[in-house]
Amino acid sequence: MTATTSALNDDGPLRVVLADDSGIFREGLRLLLESAGVMVLDDVDNVPRLMSCVARHRPDVAIVDVRMPPSHTDEGVQAALALHRDAPETGVLLLSTYVETSWVSRLLEECPGRFGYLLKDRVDDIQALLDALGRVAAGGLAVDPEVVQLLLTAHRTPDPLSRLTDRERDVLALVAQGRSNTGIASHLHVSPKTVETYVAGAFRALDLHIDQDDNRRVRATLAFLNAGNSPAHRRASKTQG
Amino acid sequence: MFRRLGGPNVEGRWARFKDSGETRPVTEVALPGGSSETSGAVTPAPARRVRPVHQVRRPSLWTRPVAWGHTGSVPNSARRRFLATALVPLIGLALVPSVLAVQHPVNALDVASSGADLVVQIVLTITGLLLLRDHEHRRSGLLLVLAGAAIGIADLAWTDLALTGGWWLQVGWWTHWSAVVFLLPVLLAYPGARMARRNHEALVGLMALVLLGWRGVEALLFHPAFTGYDGPIRWVSLPGTSLELYGSARMVGVALVGGLCVWLAVAMIQRWRRARSIARWPTRMTAGIGIALTMALAVRVGTEYALERGWVTPAWADTVDVFQQLLLAAAPIGLLILALRTAVRRGAVLERLFRAAGDPVAVEQLLRKELDDPQLRLLYPVGSFWLDGQGAIVGETPDPPPPRPGRMLCGLCSRGDNGSSAEQATDASTPPDGPNVLVDVDEQAQLDPVRLRTTLTATEMVLENIRLAVERDANAAEVATSRTRIVEAGMAQRRQLERDLHDGAQQHLLTVATTLSRARMAAEQQQMRATLDQARTQLTTALAELRNLARGIHPAGLSQGGLVTGVRGLVSGDQDLLIDVGPGLDAGARAPEAVETAAYFVVAEAVTNARKHADTVHVAISMALRDSQLQLVVADTGVGGARLCPGGGLAGLADRVVALGGTFALHSPVGGGTTVTVVLPCTGAPAPKGARGLT
C-alpha cells in the first residue's frame, strides 16, 4: 500500500512519540499510525514526560497536542519550541483542535524546519497525516491547508494577492503548505513545469525573491501571508484604503 | 474689686458727708498703708483706698467633685430648681451695693469705678449663667456668679451704709480681692471642667489663704481709731494691735501676694504654651486673661510697696491704678466672649451637620474640622463588621475595634434618650444595644469636653441619616461585587464547559475518526470504502459543528492569545472588516480574563448584528488598553436604528459589562450606522500567565 511505503524513510519505518492528554485519542491515533506502518515508540500525557521520552527514544517526529495540562492553553507550542532547542533532530507535528494562526509566524521564525501544524481533524485522512509526518521527518514543513486558507483570506485589501490569478493563488496556497513543485503538480494534475511557471509568476507579483529550496519558499510565503496580520501592515493598508 | 484700690474708704465717704452738709464730724483718716501721710484736708482726688475683705474659703468647692460633673448624668429638675432658688437672690442681693455705690458718687472717678464694677458684675453673672448650662462648666459658672457677687459685697465699702455704722466698711475692705479667688480656678480650668494639675490647685488654695485669710488678719489688726477717727463705723480689731503692727502685717501681705503673682504668672505662661488641640484657643484666651490679672495684682502690690517706701507719689499711684483697672476688665469680657463663642458655635455646628447629613464623608470632614483632628474617623457597624466612611473594613467582629494609641472611641446612639450617650462610650462602656456609630477621636479632644460633647450630641441628631447612607453604600458595593462575581463565575463555567467538550466529546469523535481511518485502510471492497468515506465526511461535519459550538461557548483562542487574537479568529475571512489595535494591546498587554471575554462577546454580538440586520458594508473594530481601562468601539455603516431590547443579545452583554464595573453605550440613529462603545475597568487579576507570549 502506498500508505505503508510513505511511512518509511531511508532507515526503515518512521519512529514517532505521541503526546496528548486524552488517553482515548492517544490510543486511537497509536493504533491508526501503527496500522499504517509507523513505529509509535511511546505515548505520554504531559510535557515533562514528552521531553524525557524524546530524550530517551530520539524519535523522528513527536506528535504533540497544543492543549495540555496544566493550563490547557498552549503547552504544546511551548513544548515544540523547547524540543526544537533541546532535540533539533526530532521533528514536531503539532495537532490542534482549533485553527489558530497566531502562533504560526513565531513558530516558523523559531523552527526553520522539522515542523508541522495540523488540525486534529486530519486524523481521518491517514494519507494527509503520513504525508505531513514524512515531510516533517525529512526536515521540511507541513502546515494545515485551513491555516493557510485563513492567512490568505485574512489578508486585507488593497491586497497584493489580488494581483494574482486564481490559479497562481491556488499554487501559492499549496506552496505555503510545504509542498514541493512536484507534489503540487500531482495534486493539481498538471506538469511540474507548469507549476514552476505559476510559482514564479506569483512570486514576481508579490516581489518575493526566493530560490527553489522548499522550506525557504514556504516560510517566505507564510511570512508574507502572515504579515497581513501585523499591525504595521494593517495600518498601511488602512491608510491606503 | 475692679475699682481703684486704696486704703479703707473712710476718707472719701467722709468727704461726701462733709459736702452734703451733714453734721457728722469730718475725720481725717490716715492711710493705713501710708502712715507717714498726714490726714489733711480731703482732696477731690481721693488717695489710695484699701478695703478689707472677708470671705471664708470653702475648699470643698475645688476639691470635692461637683456632684453633677463627670457623671454623664444631667442634673434633674429638682437640682436645677434648687440652683435657681439659691442663685437668683444671691445675684439680686449682690447687685444692691454696686447700684447704691453708683447712685451716690463721691466724685466723677468714683462714678466711673462704681459703674465699671456694676458692668463687670453683670458681665460675670451672665457669663456664669451661660456656663451653668453645660454640666462640665457648672462649677466654673457657679464660681463666676460668686465672683460677681463678691464684687457686690466688696462694694459695700462704697455705699452710704458703710458710713452710717455697722461693720459694712470692714466687710467690704476684707472681701476686696475675693473675686480673684473665685476667678482663678476658672481661668486655670477652662475649657476643662476642673484644674488638671495639683500645683494649680495648691496655687489657688494659697491665693485664697493670702487674699482672704491674711487680708482678714490685716483687717483685724487695723482700727479706724489709728487715724484719729471717732465715728459710728464699727470695726472689729484684735486687742493690743497698733498701727505699726498693722503696717508690718500689710507688708507681709504685699510680699506674699507678690510671691504668688510670680507663681501665677509661671502657671499661666505654662498653660499658654501647653495649649493644644481643640482647646488651644480657649486655653490661651484664659491664660491671657490670667496673665492680665496677675499683672494687675503685681502692679497693685508693687505700687503699694513703692508708696510705703516713699518712692512714688500718691498721684502717680492713682495713674497706675487706671492701667491696672484696664487689665482687670479683660477678665470678664474675655470670659464672656468665650462663653458666647461656645453658645454660637454649637448652633452653627448643628446647622452644618444638618446640611451635610446623608453624606457620611462630608459629616466626617466636618467633624475633623470641628474637633481639629485630621485623623478622626466615623466607624459604622454593618452586618458583623465595622466599616469606615470609605467602606473599608476596620473591624471584623461585632464588638467595637480597639482604639488606636492616643485615641479613643466614642459611641453615638441615635436612640439616645437624653443626649448623654456620647459620654457613656467615652469610658469604653457601650450602651445596651451597642453604639450605632463609633467616633475615633484624639484623646486630647477631652481637653474641651463641652465642645466634644456638644459636637458629638449634634452628630447624634443626624446619625440615622449618615448610618443609613453608609449601609446603603455598603449594600450597593456588595451588590456590585456580587454581580461581578456572578458574571465571572458564569464565564468560568463556560470556560469549563468548553474544556469538557474539548476533552470529552471532541476527543471521542476524533478517536472515532482514527478508527474509521483504520477501517478504511483495511477495507478491501470499493463499496465498503465508499461507505466509510461517507461516515468520515459526516464525522467531519459533526466535528466542525462541535468546534463552532465550543468556540461560541468560550473561544479557545481568547484564553490562549488574548483579545486581539480572539477577535481576529472571530472575524477572519471577513474582507470588509477593519481592526484597529490601539495602545497597550498592540504591545501584547492583557486584560483580566473576565474583561477579555466580555469584550470578545460584545465584538461577536455587534459584528453578528451588523452582518445580520444592518445591511452593512463596513465594520470597524477599535480596541485599546490604556489607564487600566479596556476601550472598545465597534462601528458599522449600516442602517442603524438598533435598540437594546430586554432579553436581546446586546442587552445581556450590556448587563455583563455593567456588572464588571464598565459602561456600555449604544448609538444607533436611523440611517446613521451603529456604534457600540464599551469601557471596561481592568482592576482584577490579569489573564493566566501561561496564556501570554505568543501573539
Interface check for A29 against chain B (CB to CB < 8 A): the answer is yes
Beta carbons of A121 and B543 less than 8 Å apart: yes
Polymer length of chain A: 241
**Cross-chain Cβ contact A153/B580 below 8 Å:** no
Q: Does one domain contain both A72 and A23?
A: yes
CB-closest option in A97, A154, A234 to B572: A154
Q: Do B573 and A100 touch (CB under 8 A)?
A: no
Q: At what angle do helices B178-189 and B138-154 cross, to 10 degrees?
A: 160
Q: Nearest Cβ partner of B536 from A25, A120, A124?
A: A124
Same domain, residue pair A48 and A155 = no
Q: Which among B495, B497, B515, B517 is the top mutation candidate for probing chain A, defined by the most A β-carbons within 10 Å of its own β-carbon?
A: B517
**Cβ atoms within 10 Å of B643's Cβ, excluding its own:** 9
Inter-chain residue contact B517 with A124, CB threshold 8 Å = yes
- CA distances (Å), origin B498, targets B405, B548, B553: 55, 11, 6
* Angstrom distances, CA of residue B117 to CA of B53, B255, B295: 16, 27, 19
Contact B506 A97 (CB under 8 A): yes
Chain B hits for A77, Cβ within 8 Å: 694
* Secondary structure of residue A21 in the 3-state scheme: coil
Give the largest CA-CA distance in chain A: 55
**In this model, does residue A63 exceed pLDDT 90?**
yes
CB contact under 8 A, B690 and A71: yes
Q: How far is A131 from chain B (nearest CA, A)?
A: 15
Which residues, at least 6 apart from A79, have a Cβ–Cβ distance to it below 8 Å? Answer: A19, A47, A50, A51, A64, A68, A92
Question: In this structure, how many other beta carbons lie within 10 angstroms of the beta carbon of residue B44?
Answer: 9
- Indicate if A178 and A153 belong to the same structural domain: yes
Specify whether A209 is located in the same domain as A137: no
Are A91 and A44 contained in the same domain? yes
CA geometry: angle at A15 spanning A10 and A18, to 5°? Answer: 155
Residue A37: CATH number of its domain = 3.40.50.2300
Residues A9, A86 within the same domain: yes
**Is residue A91 helix, strand or coil?**
strand
Distance from CA of B690 to the nearest CA of A (A): 7
Q: How many CB pairs under 8 A join A and B?
A: 128
| DSSP annotation of A182 | H
pLDDT at B632: 92
**What ipTM, to 2 d.p.?**
0.75
Which among B520, B575, B688 has the least Cβ separation from residue A71? B688
Q: Which residues in chain B have Cβ-Cβ distances shorter than 8 Å to A72?
A: 499, 502
Burial of A193 (0-12, 13-18, 19+ CB in 10 A): exposed
DSSP string, B325-357: HHHHHHHHHHHHHHHHHHHHHHHHHHHHHHHHT
Both A136 and A162 in a single domain? no
Question: What dihedral angle (degrees, nearest 10) is formed by the CA atoms of B542, B548, B552, B554?
Answer: 90
Location of C-alpha cell 526553520: A112
Q: How many domains does chain A have?
A: 2
Which of B496, B500, B502, B510 is the mutation pick for testing A, counting most A CBs within 10 A?
A: B510
Q: What is d(CA A180, CA B635) in angstroms, rounded to the nearest whole number?
A: 44
Same domain, A135 and A155: no
Task: Say yes or no: A162 and A121 in one domain.
Answer: no
Looking at residue B260, what is its pLDDT? 92
Q: Across-strand partners of B580?
A: B622
What distance in Å separates residue A175's CA from the closest CA in chain B? 20
Asked if A32's CB is within 8 angstroms of B518's CB, the reply is yes
Residue A174: domain span: 148-240
Q: A122 to chain B, minimum CA–CA distance in Å?
A: 9
Q: Which residues touch B440 (CB under 8 Å, ≥6 apart)? A: B375, B376, B377, B378, B379, B403, B404, B407, B408, B409
Tell me the nearest-neighbour CA distance from A193 into chain B, angstroms. Answer: 32
Note whether A89 and A154 are same-domain residues. Answer: no
Q: Of B536, B488, B538, whose CA–CA distance to B516 is shortest?
A: B536
Chain B partners within 8 Å of A100 (Cβ): 556-557, 560-561, 565, 569
Nearest to B559 among A25, A73, A157 (CB): A73
DSSP-derived pairing of the beta strands B437-442 and B407-412? antiparallel
Burial of B417 (0-12, 13-18, 19+ CB in 10 A): exposed
Q: Do A24 and B511 touch (CB under 8 A)?
A: yes
Of the three residues A113, A143, A173, the one that is the final residue of a domain is A143
Q: Report the residue of chain A nearest B574, measured CA to CA.
A: A154
Task: Quickly list H helices, B59-163.
Answer: 60-63, 77-103, 108-132, 138-154
Coil, helix or strand for B622? strand
In this predicted structure, what is the pLDDT of residue B559? 76
Residue type, B203: L
Residue A135 contacts B, CB cutoff 8 Å = no
Report the C-alpha gap between B458 and B460 in whole angstroms.
5
- CB-CB neighbors (< 8 A) of B693 in chain A: 74
Q: Which residues of B touch A99 (CB under 8 A)?
A: 569
B533 contact residues in A (CB cutoff 8 A): none
User: Closest residue of A to B502, CA-based?
Assistant: A97
Contact B144, B122 (CB under 8 A): no
- Enumerate the residues of chain B whose CB falls inside 8 A of the CB of residue A152: none
Contact across the interface for A22 and B691, Cβ inside 8 Å: no
Residues of A in contact with B550 (CB under 8 A): 97
- Compare B506 and A236 and report the one with higher pLDDT: B506
Q: Which residues of A touch B559 (CB under 8 A)?
A: 73
- Among A68, A74, A57, which Cα is nearest to A15's? A57
Measured CA to CA, the distance from residue B59 to residue B40 in angstroms comes to: 43
A194 exposure class (CB count in 10 Å sphere: 0-12, 13-18, 19+): middle
Q: How far is B654 from chain A (nearest CA, A)?
A: 28
Of B499, B569, B578, the CB nearest to A72: B499
Q: Which of B509, B560, B590 to mutate to test the interface with A (most CBs of A within 10 A)?
A: B560
At B44, the amino acid letter reads P
State which residue of chain B sits closest to A99, comparing Cα positions: B569
Please list the helix, strand and coil fractions of chain B in percent, rounded to the nearest 5, in that order: 60, 10, 30
Last residue of a domain, one of A108, A128, A143: A143
Q: Chain A 169-228, CB below 8 Å of chain B: which residues?
A: none
Question: Do residue A99 and residue A114 come from a single domain?
Answer: yes
> What b/e readout covers B192-230, taking b as 16+ CB neighbours within 10 angstroms?
bbbbeeeebbebbbbbbebbbebbbebbbbbbbebbebe
Q: Which residues of A touch B692 (CB under 8 A)?
A: none
Q: Do B690 and A124 touch (CB under 8 A)?
A: no
Q: Identify from A97, A104, A111 which residue to disrupt to test chain B contact, counting B C-beta atoms within 10 A and taking the largest count.
A: A97
Q: Which of A100, A128, A143 is the last residue of a domain?
A: A143
Same domain, A172 and A120: no
A231 touches chain B (CB under 8 A): yes
Report yes or no: B402 and B440 within 8 Å, Cβ to Cβ: no
Chain A residue numbers with beta carbons less than 8 Å from the beta carbon of B536 are: 124-125
Indicate yes or no: CB of A98 within 8 angstroms of CB of B547: yes
Inter-chain CB proximity B578 and A238 less than 8 Å? yes
- Please tell me if residue A3 touches chain B, with a CB cutoff of 8 Å: yes
Q: Which CA distances in Å does B647 have to B549, B598, B652? A: 21, 17, 7
With contacts defined as CB-CB under 8 Å, which chain B residues touch A124?
513-514, 516-517, 536, 539-540
Chain B: nearest CA to A29, how far in angstroms? 6
Q: Which residue has the cell 484696664?
A: B326
User: Taking CA atoms, what residue in B is nearest to A109?
Assistant: B694
Can you tell me the distance from the alpha carbon of B132 to that of B450, in angstroms, rounded to the nearest whole number?
A: 12
To the nearest whole angstrom, how far is the Cα of B575 from the nearest Cα of chain A?
A: 6
> C-alpha grid cell for residue B613?
440586520
pLDDT, tens digit, 9 for 90 and up, residues B312-336: 888 887 788 777 777 877 888 899 9
A131 pLDDT higher than 60: yes
Closest CA in chain B for residue A126: B517
User: Does A155 lie at the interface with B, CB-CB under 8 angstroms?
Assistant: no
Low-confidence residues of chain B, pLDDT below 70? 1-77, 104-111, 414-435, 572-575, 614-617, 684-695
CB distance A98 to B544 below 8 Å: no
